[in-house]
Amino acid sequence: MRLNPRISQKIAKTVIWFAAIVVLVLLFSIIIYILSKGIPNITWQFLTEIPSDMGRSGGILSCIVGTLSVTLVATVVATPLGVGTAFYLTEYTHESIVTKIIRFSAESLAGIPSIVYGLFGFIFFVIYLKLGWSILSGGLTLAMMILPTIIRTSEEAIHTVHPMYREVSFSLGGTKWQTMIKILIPSALPGIATGIILGIGRCVAETAAVILTAGSALQMPVSIFSPARTMAVHFYILARESISLEKAFATAALLIILILIINIGANILVNRFVAKSH
Amino acid sequence: MKLKKFGERIPQSLFFLIALSALSALALITIFIFIEGVPLIAKVGFFNFIFGMKWAPSLGQYGIFPMIVGTVLVTVGAVIIGVPIALCCSIFLAEFAPRQLSMLVRPAIQLLAGIPSVVYGFWGLIFIVPAIRNYLGGPGLSILAGSIILAIMILPTVISISEVSILALPPLLKEGAFALGATHWQTIRSVLLPAAKSGILASIILGIGRAVGETMAVIMVLGNAVALPSSILDPARTLTTNIGIEMGYASGEHQQALFATGIVLLVIIMILNASAQYAIRRK
Amino acid sequence: MTDQSKISVKNLNFYYSKHQVIKNLSLEVKANEILSVFGPANSGTTTLLRTMNRMWDIIPGARMEGEVLLDGNNIYASNASTIELRRKVGIVFEIPTPLPMSIFDNVAYGPRLSGIKNKVALEEIVEKSLRMAVIWDEVKDRLHSIGSRLSGGQQQRLCIARVLALEPEVILLDRPCSGLDPVSTAKIEESLRQLKEQFTIIIVPHNVQQAGRVADRAVFLLMGDLIEEGPTAVMFANPKDKRTSDYITGRFG
């Protein structure tokens, strides 16, 4: 028996709305749960002290520093490579087998599991290049991980620049380089920045790749050759080894707040970019 | 003569070199994982490694078949639970959601993708695992728990890519169906979804890739037993969690065996990626 | 002043992939004249214009045979600089496209590229260029507001000022008034007549009437062939070729 189209329409619509509501409720329940359990435990001391007794007491200052420094290294390395690749693909070449290979590589990199990045970073940076467990090893591994994100978003951003701008700049005696510096980069900047911010978000949230490359030392790192424990790694260890639920919640809440800020920042940039390009 | 700016002398070849970074990264990763892992597979034997039932590094036994089964079961579970919800959600965003609401839902789903995987694992450990233990029995740490967590984690991938492929359809398709007197749902089911088929397929494949590759969240809820599971309420181990758990202390041959596990993982992911890209291009 | 042409086009053939859009065309342009190159759509007028400052280099599949000389020098010679050429031969496009920056920065864009950094010098160039393009009075109080806020006609005059700021020798205009109202068009044509004193101007008009109004000499192209050339007044009063008279009188096109 076939259902009456009007009834099937009603059922489908209900199911679809229900699914969307389930997803939203799920998301907000996770976030609100972590925040409500964690925020009360975020104290001034928590933010400014180094962990002691394996993280049972003290704060997470060294982990905050670890997260920031690993992320900084990754961003500083991946940004020029990613943006440069995007400019090569859009401005310096025509579609060819070479661009296909480059795009295929970037898309494949995007799919590689973070644990495999961790394995690679461990054997290549930590062992082979003798960088040891360090901020540098962790940052370089993460740089490879966020490279595809930056390439893709930058390429999209450059594509949205009005094609006549290039022509006008060339017609006024501008060279390719001048056109890039004065027209393309400023116009595509919010889009490029969005890609970088998304990359930063991934670095902050990453655990598997960092734990194998930056290590899990609790001491305050003193240089990029020091090992470091990031907040995500710290949270993982606290929670998995049941060291301190209280501190685990506080760390998770801080991570979520950071991710929220990063996401809101990216969205503001996207909206500004969309408003500008119309 | 005007002085030429420095940038003009940066040749095209420098940009080309930069553009090779993605390819070199991919090549380096593949080469180093293989160099580390292949000797062990050669020593144990390819067949024994893939289909061996026993993983006991201290005894020199390296069979990863239980982990392959674990990976497949957890992933299939995640797809069964996650994909229908994700597809409904993408149809919701593309077709039903009022503009204001979709402006709220889209960033929310983006946020879902940004939450650290360890947080999902932790949340699962607190809510999902005890619930399974209390209502369905078993230890709670189980394939089912892993599937539920992964189902949530693949939502953003599947939702955003299928939504984009539905939105990318020419509006005439929809108008044509409406003009023939179809209801909104009939239009979606018999016109839009078939037309967006390849994009939706790609989104599911990429979601599978994400599920296969996820480590930390799964470690926390899967129980990590190396035995072959007999039900979805049993604990299990996946390829990723095998690496994640043991890399911390492995050395020598044992470490090589973990890289060999990485090779299997990498090959699976490459096949999934290539098929997703093929599905997207086929349009 | 010698008799030498400002621009000579010799035996020009132009192709987009296999499709030939200009067929064995030769043409002389004298200094300080306004030459109009007109014809129906797809006659090769825009392409001819673009060969004069190499603004087709980046189009994939485009190919050119023949020579274009500026003051007797082949602009396609292997040692010729495209950048220098484009500073001497400026172009105004059909769609007014202010760059995404202020009015001042738009006009100063070219001079800055060529290395002028001095603020006073730039201000002078900007004012002079805007005056020559007959738009100074309308924008002098908002030089630092964004260029795309202007009306279409003002935007196009801004684009003319932007080219003038390069202090070029030749100005190419590709249907500069096609999207504009009659008042804006009249203003632009007025400024062209003044600019003629200092520059050589080649214009692809958006209609026959404009060709008749502004140009000293006219060239009629049809499907890539040069059909007729001569002083505008003569050609419009008494066309030699039947196809020219058909087009001018509006029988086709």
User: Does C100 sit within 8 Å of A172, measured CB to CB?
Assistant: no
Give the start-to-end residue ranges of the domains of chain B.
52-282
CB C136 within 8 A of CB C122: no
Q: What's the confidence (pLDDT) of residue A92?
A: 85
| pLDDT at residue C181, rounded to an integer | 86
pLDDT attached to residue B13? 83
Q: Rounded CA gap, B22 and C205, in Å?
A: 49
Nearest CA in chain C to B3: C115
Q: What single letter denotes the amino acid at residue B161?
A: I
Residue type at position B16: F
Contact B18/C at CB under 8 A: no
What's the distance, Cα to Cα, between the start and end of chain B in Å? 53
Q: What does the pLDDT read at residue A277?
A: 55
- Residue B283's pLDDT is 56
Give the integer Cα–Cα distance in Å for C97 and C147.
9
Q: Which residues of A touch B84 (CB under 8 A)?
A: 19
On whether residue C159 sits in a domain, the answer given is yes
Q: How far is C86 from chain B (nearest CA, A)?
A: 15
Cβ atoms within 10 A of the Cβ of C187, count? 20
**Strand partners for C15:** C20, C63
At C152-200, the pLDDT tens digits run 889 999 999 999 999 999 999 998 888 888 888 888 888 888 888 889 9
Q: CA-CA distance, C205 to C211, in Å (whole number)?
A: 6
- Report pLDDT for B7: 52
Rg (CA), chain A: 23
Distance from CA of C172 to the nearest CA of B (A): 24
pLDDT digits (tens, 9 = 90+) for C120-165: 999 999 999 999 888 999 999 999 988 888 888 899 999 999 999 9
Average pLDDT of the residues in B77-86 = 96
CB contact under 8 A, A115 and B215: yes
Those of residues 84-143 in C touching chain A at CB distance below 8 A are 84, 86-87, 90-91, 93, 95, 97, 99-100, 109-110, 113-114
Q: In the predicted model, what is the mean pLDDT of residues B210-216?
A: 94
Per the DSSP assignment, residues forming a β-bridge with C68 are C9
Determine the average pLDDT of the residues in B206-217: 94
Query: Is residue C1 in a domain?
Result: no
Spatial CB neighbours of C176, under 8 Å, sequence gap ≥ 6: C92, C93, C94, C156, C159, C160, C188, C203, C206
Query: Above 50 in pLDDT, residue C81?
Result: yes
Residue carrying structure tokens 């023939």: B180
C215 class by beta-carbon count within 10 Å (0-12 exposed, 13-18 middle, 19+ buried): buried
Rounded Cα distance between B265 and B257, Å, is: 12
Tokens representing B9?
A: 């002398």
Q: Phi/psi at C39 (nearest 5 deg)?
A: 165, 165
CATH superfamily of A44-277: MetI-like (1.10.3720.10)
Residue B3 in this model has a pLDDT that exceeds 50: no
Which of A9, A206, A262 lies nearest to residue B185, judging by beta carbons? A9
Q: What per-residue confidence (pLDDT) applies to A224?
A: 93
What is the phi-psi region of residue C175: left when phi exceeds 0, alpha when psi lies from -120 to 50, beta otherwise? left
Count interface pairs A-C at CB distance under 8 A.
59
Check the CA dihedral A266-A267-A271-A272 and report its sign: negative
Q: What is the CATH number of the domain that holds C116?
A: 3.40.50.300
A168, A170, A175 member nearest C97 (Cβ): A168
Mean per-residue pLDDT over chain C, rounded: 89
- Whether B29 sits inside 8 A of A116 (CB atoms) is yes
The answer to whether the beta carbons of residues A161 and A87 sit under 8 Å apart is no
Domain assignments of chain A as residue spans, ordered by start = 5-40, 44-277
- What DSSP designation does B229 have? P
| Residue A5 parent element (H or E) | helix A5-38
pLDDT tens-digit profile, chain A (278 residues)? 567 888 888 999 999 999 999 999 999 999 999 999 999 999 999 999 889 888 888 889 999 999 999 999 999 999 999 999 999 999 888 888 999 999 999 999 999 999 999 999 999 999 999 999 999 999 999 999 999 999 999 999 998 888 899 999 999 988 888 898 899 998 898 889 889 998 999 999 999 999 999 999 999 999 999 999 999 999 999 998 888 989 999 999 999 999 999 988 888 887 777 766 54
**pLDDT at position C110 over 60:** yes
Tell me if C116 is assigned to some domain.
yes
pLDDT given at position C1: 41
Q: What pLDDT shows up at residue B254?
A: 95
Domain B52-282 carries which CATH code? 1.10.3720.10
pLDDT of B6 strictly over 70: no
Averaged pLDDT score across all residues of chain B: 91
Q: Give me the number of domains chain C comprises.
A: 1
B1: confidence class by pLDDT, cuts 50, 70, 90: very low
Which residue segment(s) compose the domain that C125 sits in? 7-248
Of C58, C79, C50, the C-alpha closest to C204 is: C50
C2: in domain: no
